[in-house]
Amino acid sequence: MEDHGKVKHQAKRGLSRRLVLFPVPLQGHINPMIQLANILHSKGFSIIIIHTKFNSPDHSKYPHFTFHFIPDGLLEHETSTSDVPILLKQLNLNCVSPFRDCLASLLSDANDEPVACLIADTIWYFTQDLADSFKLPTIVFRTTSICSLLAFHALPLFHEKGYLPKEDSQLQLPVTEFPPLKVKDIPVIKSQIQGGIDRLIITMMEKVKAASGIIFNSFKELEELELTKTSQDFGIPTFAIGPLHKYFPASSSSLMKQERGAILWLDKQALKSVIYVSFGSIAEMDETQLSEVAWGIANSMQPFLWVIRPGLVQNSQELARLPNGFLEAVDGRGYIVKWAPQQEVLAHPAIGGFWTHSGWNSTLESICEGVPMICSPFFGDQMVNARFANDVWKIGIQLEKGLARGEIERAIRRLMAEKEGKEIRERVMSLKEKIDFCVKEGGSSYQSLASLTDYISSFSISGPVSQ
């Protein structure tokens, strides 16, 4: 890990200017926002984090930040992540008034340094108009891939061309306007939300276009075409400064306790022998799917480290029940945890592959450690990330038939034991080397971060200066 905590590139002006950051309270969004906060703090800015009660960060871990808590109005049963769009819509409604009050009070504090801008997750679509009303510039932070942003942006086009709603007979067809997506990869999210989620996504995209800039946790060498297209389609300055966890690790903002036993167990395993299996913090499966996953892993005969978090199996907050005979079949060949120190796991020499849900943080963390992937996307951006990992970057094997034990077993063998896996590993290793370079002085992310800090420092009290 590089020590970017020591300031190498100082912003020229406004060194103690305050920045207000507003993370979405989900694990995959909190981690990169806290990393961004640490990076900007290391560049000389004062960091204020406004956060909800739901999944609130542990203040004691960040004595160098100022935290402001706002009531999110969620009732206990509304904090479920089983239907993420409903949760996010509710938060966007409930937080308007408390966020406005909090921002007003921060901006009116004449004794403190002025606030340069708001940095809000793109999902907080309500914040743009509100910040505008205070004449405060907003830079949005997209915590997932650039390719998935473009795919969400193209949803109206996908409707117009007849790809949506998806029909079973068309799932394998190519989306000619958005290669290499197939119809099945279009990033839909199942939800009980009234009127569907498209309206929300369109609103979000409009608000992104109204922002003063967009920050990506990605890097130019991975998504150069997509970065250029975003600049064209959205017409705002773009800053690809990732992978952010190269500067500050994700572990500090983990909402669940990471089990160190995983590392002790890995210490006893052979080099590159273990397949790490984790589907992130939100994905859910039913008991039949859990059984397919379990038997696919068991039948592959490969050592494994498997994260079964409470809630992975629908309606079970406690650890899911493994199928009868599974533990006997694997005969000590594996280790199961509720939550792992993932970044450390991926960096461990015993890890040979990562079977992932293709969440963006997981994908980046895997690339950074040169670990090849098996991709099982569940919903939304994961579908696009997985398709790009399989078809464009060629650093993963996508399971094309859902969760079926035969295909799982075969994919694990292909990745861990066959020539194909070796070639995939070589490609991901080459990307890892590019990352190692891009965050160093002169590298693309390093330069983009320097442009970002200069850009923020150039903001006058009344608004952004054009780049």
Long-range contacts of 155-164 (CB under 8 A, 24+ apart): 155/186, 155/187, 155/198, 155/201, 155/202, 156/198, 156/202, 158/186, 159/198, 164/188
At its nearest, how many Å lie between ligand UDP and the CB of residue 100? 28
The residue at minimum Cβ distance from ligand UDP is: 28
C-beta closer to ligand UDP: residue 294 or 340: 340
Q: Which residues of 174-206 are buried (b: 16+ CB within 10 A; e: fewer)?
A: ebeebeebbbbbbbbbebebeeebbebbeebbe
- CA gyration radius for the chain? 22
| Binding map of ligand UDP across residues 387-426, x = CB under 6 A, - = no contact | ----------------------------------------
For ligand UDP, the binding residue among 39, 130, 197, 250 (CB under 6 A) is: 250
Pairing of strands 334-337, 304-307: parallel
For ligand UDP, the binding residue among 72, 292, 365, 409 (CB under 6 A) is: 365
Contacts with ligand UDP in 322-361 (CB under 6 A)? 339-340, 342-343, 359-361
For ligand UDP, the binding residue among 307, 368, 384, 397 (CB under 6 A) is: 307
Q: State how far the Cα of 412 lies from the Cα of 52, in Å rounded to an integer.
A: 40
Contact between 85 and ligand UDP per CB under 6 A: no
C-beta closer to ligand UDP: residue 252 or 451: 252
Three-state SS for 40-54 is: HHHCCCEEEEEEECC
Nearest to 352 by CA among 264, 240, 277: 277
C-beta closer to ligand UDP: residue 281 or 376: 281
| SS3 of residue 215 by DSSP | strand
For ligand UDP, the binding residue among 70, 88, 211, 282 (CB under 6 A) is: 282
For ligand UDP, the binding residue among 23, 28, 370, 377 (CB under 6 A) is: 28
For ligand UDP, the binding residue among 14, 85, 137, 280 (CB under 6 A) is: 280
* Count of residues near ligand UDP by CB under 6 A: 20
For ligand UDP, the binding residue among 254, 302, 376, 445 (CB under 6 A) is: 254
Environment class of 142 (CB within 10 Å of its CB; exposed 0-12, middle 13-18, buried 19+): buried
Contact residues: ligand UDP, CB under 6 A: 27-28, 31, 250, 254, 258, 278, 280-282, 307, 339-340, 342-343, 359-362, 365
